[in-house]
Amino acid sequence: MSSPAPVVVPLDLFADPADLTRTLVDIPSVSGAEGPIADAIETALRALGRLEVLRLGNSVLARTALERPTRVLLAGHIDTVPIADNVPSVTEGDILRGCGTTDMKSGDAMLLHLAATLENPSRDLTFVFYDCEEIEHERNGLTRIERERPEWLAADLAILGEPTNAQVEAGCQGTAAAAVTVRGRRSHAARSWLGDNAIHGAAEVLNRLRAFPARSVDIDGCLYREGLNAVSISGGVASNVIPDECTVKVNFRFAPDRDADDAVGLLKELFDGFQVDVLDVAAGALPGLSAPAAAEFVAAAGGVAVAKYGWTDVARFAALGIPAVNYGPGDPSLAHTREEWVSMQQIREMTEVLRTFLA
Amino acid sequence: MSSPAPVVVPLDLFADPADLTRTLVDIPSVSGAEGPIADAIETALRALGRLEVLRLGNSVLARTALERPTRVLLAGHIDTVPIADNVPSVTEGDILRGCGTTDMKSGDAMLLHLAATLENPSRDLTFVFYDCEEIEHERNGLTRIERERPEWLAADLAILGEPTNAQVEAGCQGTAAAAVTVRGRRSHAARSWLGDNAIHGAAEVLNRLRAFPARSVDIDGCLYREGLNAVSISGGVASNVIPDECTVKVNFRFAPDRDADDAVGLLKELFDGFQVDVLDVAAGALPGLSAPAAAEFVAAAGGVAVAKYGWTDVARFAALGIPAVNYGPGDPSLAHTREEWVSMQQIREMTEVLRTFLA
């Protein structure tokens, strides 16, 4: 059996990055189905003729080799969360609506446009367009790149095009999830004194959560606010039974001055006396703004950096010793919503800020 | 189409009531499928020739008309919870195992045997064998009898053959169920200070439950212990979302000196500030042991009555102004378990206690 070669969507990387965003949004690329958008990006980058290009699965990498004193890595994921009746895109004046407009095809478009138009940058550049960011860590394109081609990730600064609404968001919080289980003893509800109510026992878990003194930590001028919260609770056997088990799932967003062990240790200590099962933990990323390339970028972007709330792949770069910041168009709180939209003017303005820094 | 007339299982009401229990257990009668056992009971009672018999749905009633100064109503439900590999019955020495052995075919057998063998009782007797006790109130055979033939329920004392393990268990607790809902405001877990965590808010509900001073109330020498408990809790939207709702379902078992309004009022007051939705409420039953017929029965049964824990149909009779007690073979804590069993000797002994009282 033979099938016709797939048609590769042509991308005009020299065009307005807002128009390029629209083209990218209109190529569906839900996690796991990034083949067509990766083909389009690879073809367009190879056509430039100035960059070394590498295809690894559905990730596309490209870099200069200009022997500049510093190298900046510019990265964006090309997948989106599932489409929710919001592809193709819709334009209303300055507003572009659709799946991935915020998270993060506008960031990808900004970086692709710079790859085409920065002919003689002052820094060496590495572009990384990777797949499967919205799903499990093991399938994330960066996981494969780090394992198979780690030399492609070497850099003095990493800029991730995740949405920050025109701010520089430095580093990121860590996140830990755990299940706290309270045990009791069943009995019939009509003879409750023969049992030990596990839901009543969970009051102590909730009381400790309420009393937890969440820190605010200033690092490199960025304020990281911690938060420790129950995100689910469940318990109960039947309407006439005193329950013998109640589970509270907690989520801890911690400042990047704690490492993962410290965060887990805190949870185990706080919930001493209960069963604590760690479900997952990911360290945060220090802002690293004291590194020269990072400080220069913050200056170029207006002089102000704020803390990133939420975990992003900047943590991977921080773990590799590379200062890393988030900088991309769109309001981060719109990510993963059906109503996702981005200002086309903001895409153009942020692209020019990056151009000034890299030129 | 015609089908052969169903075969009615013959019941020997004059035989050993333990043997009769075995026969009844071996006629499956899960709630809603009581036709065959009702047919068997109706046929056997009609064959006695001494009683007025009434069939109402799958309930069977029979009564004497001897112009005695007092009338005792003797009632048992003929349905069981679903069979759990425990029919037919198994005999091991004195032990009879199987679905309904405790709840409450041994009680039915005791009453059927007395219907056959008490030829000249000192009191008028009404026997009520009713269906659908284990399911919703509306389908309960007593609900239909009360609505359509209330004159059949008139009596000076009601004895319900529910399992009491050879004790007289007087009256019963009331029961009330309510959902207590705590509301908050959603936010992303990474920016939890923008939200209001409803699960954390539920700590206050649980703290009030833990601090609730459950009463123990002595009525007619019976000690009713109250209990107010969470029987389920649920809350949570997603692992990265601060939840905006948490619901605690509570169950209140209350002494029969409170009526339903009082119980509901207590719940609303205790959970003031939260949304309280009453799911169901059923008043308890005062023991009524000061009534002459009740006092005489307690004396005949050894002089001691204890409080019934758990709600039973005695509450219906109490609501009709009829003193009502539970008195039947088997350990009540075995009811609804797969391991249900009854002592055959206990069936015989309790039958003789009742005979002495009624003779």
List pLDDT tens digits, range B19-50: 999 999 999 999 999 999 999 999 999 999 99
Strands B157-160 and B324-326: parallel
Q: Testing the interface with A: which of B136, B180, B185, B188 to mutate, by most A Cβ within 10 A?
A: B188
Compute the Cα dihedral for B178, B184, B186, B192 and give only its sign. negative
pLDDT band at A1 (very low <50, low <70, confident <90, very high): very low
pLDDT digits (tens, 9 = 90+) for A242-298: 999 999 999 999 999 999 999 999 999 999 999 999 999 989 998 889 899 999 999
B contact residues 182-241, partner A, Cβ 8 Å cutoff: 188-193, 197, 199-200, 202-203, 206-207, 209-210, 214, 225, 227, 229-241
Indicate yes or no: CB of B239 within 8 angstroms of CB of A225.
no
Mean pLDDT for the stretch of residues B201-217: 97
Minimal-distance CA residue of chain B relative to A192: B227
B79 annotated active-site: yes
Mean pLDDT for the stretch of residues B64-89: 95
- What does the block give as tokens for A209? 């959560």
Task: Name the residue with higher pLDDT: B238 or B49.
Answer: B49
Q: Is the pLDDT of residue A154 over 70?
A: yes
Minimal-distance CA residue of chain A relative to B230: A199
Indicate yes or no: CB of B207 within 8 angstroms of CB of A207.
yes
Task: Read off the amino acid at residue B93.
Answer: G
Q: How far is CA A183 from the centre of its chain?
A: 36
Q: Which of B184-188, B334-338, B346-350 has the highest mean pLDDT?
A: B346-350
Closest in B214, B234, B239 to A251, CB measured: B239
Residue A177: which of B239, B237, B186, B198 has the closest Cα? Answer: B239
Closest in B190, B239, B309 to A309, CB measured: B190
Indicate yes or no: CB of B209 within 8 angstroms of CB of A203.
yes
- The torsion angles phi and psi of A117, rounded to 5 degrees, stand at -105, -10
Mean pLDDT for the stretch of residues B229-245: 93
pLDDT at B3: 61
pLDDT digits (tens, 9 = 90+) for A200-239: 999 999 999 999 999 999 998 899 999 999 999 999 988 8
Closest in B231, B237, B239 to A243, CB measured: B231
pLDDT at A359: 94
B133 annotated active-site: yes
Which one of the listed residues B124, B133, B169, B313 is annotated catalytic? B133
pLDDT digits (tens, 9 = 90+) for B240-295: 889 999 999 999 999 999 999 999 999 999 999 999 999 999 899 988 898 999 99
CA-based nearest distance B174→chain A, Å: 9
pLDDT at B45: 98
Q: Identify all chain B residues contacting A253, using CB atoms and an 8 Å cutoff.
A: 189-190, 192
Indicate yes or no: CB of B188 within 8 angstroms of CB of A225.
no
- What does the block give as tokens for A306? 């704020």
pLDDT at A3: 61
CATH H-level superfamily of A17-172+285-358: Zn peptidases (3.40.630.10)
Indicate yes or no: CB of B190 within 8 angstroms of CB of A237.
no
Residue B286: which of B321, B238, B310, B253 has the closest Cα? Answer: B321
Q: Testing the interface with A: which of B226, B231, B242 to mutate, by most A Cβ within 10 A?
A: B231
Q: Testing the interface with B: which of A233, A249, A333 to mutate, by most B Cβ within 10 A?
A: A233
Mean pLDDT, chain A, rounded, equals 94
pLDDT digits (tens, 9 = 90+) for A12-52: 999 999 999 999 999 999 999 999 999 999 999 999 999 99
Indicate yes or no: CB of A246 within 8 angstroms of CB of B233.
yes
Residue A105: which of A79, A126, A84, A131 has the closest Cα? Answer: A79
Indicate yes or no: CB of A239 within 8 angstroms of CB of B231.
yes
Q: Identify all chain A residues contacting B253, using CB atoms and an 8 Å cutoff.
A: 189-190, 192
A315 touches chain B (CB under 8 A): no
Question: What is the fold of B174-282?
Answer: Alpha-Beta Plaits (3.30.70)
CA-based nearest distance A3→chain B, Å: 42
pLDDT at B239: 86
Closest in A190, A207, A239 to B310, CB measured: A190
Q: How far is CA B342 from the centre of its chain?
A: 17
pLDDT at B72: 98
pLDDT band at A96 (very low <50, low <70, confident <90, very high): very high
pLDDT at A187: 87
Closest in B173, B189, B311 to A231, CB measured: B189
Closest in A210, A235, A249 to B203, CB measured: A210
Task: Give me the residues paired with residue B90 across strands.
Answer: B97
Residue B161: which of B199, B113, B219, B215 has the closest Cα? Answer: B113
pLDDT at B338: 87
Give the rounded percent of residues in chain B with a pLDDT score beyond 90.
Answer: 84
Q: Is the pLDDT of residue A352 over 90?
A: yes
Indicate yes or no: CB of B230 within 8 angstroms of CB of A241.
no
Indicate yes or no: CB of B230 within 8 angstroms of CB of A248.
no
**Is B174-282 the same fold as B17-172+285-358?**
no
pLDDT at B2: 53
The answer to whether A184 and B175 have CB atoms below 8 angstroms apart is: no
The answer to whether A222 and A289 have CB atoms below 8 angstroms apart is: yes
Q: Identify all chain B residues contacting A248, using CB atoms and an 8 Å cutoff.
A: 199
A contact residues 241-300, partner B, Cβ 8 Å cutoff: 241-243, 246, 248-249, 251, 253
What's the Cα-to-Cα distance from A253 to each of A135, A214, A228, A250, A258, rounded to whole Å? 19, 10, 6, 10, 10
Q: Identify all chain B residues contacting A185, using CB atoms and an 8 Å cutoff.
A: none
Indicate yes or no: CB of A229 within 8 angstroms of CB of B311.
no
Residue A233: which of B201, B355, B52, B317 has the closest Cα? Answer: B201
pLDDT at A4: 64
Compute the Cα dihedral for A128, A131, A135, A139 and give only its sign. negative
Show me where the domains of chain A are located. Answer: 17-172+285-358, 174-282
pLDDT at B1: 46
pLDDT at A89: 97
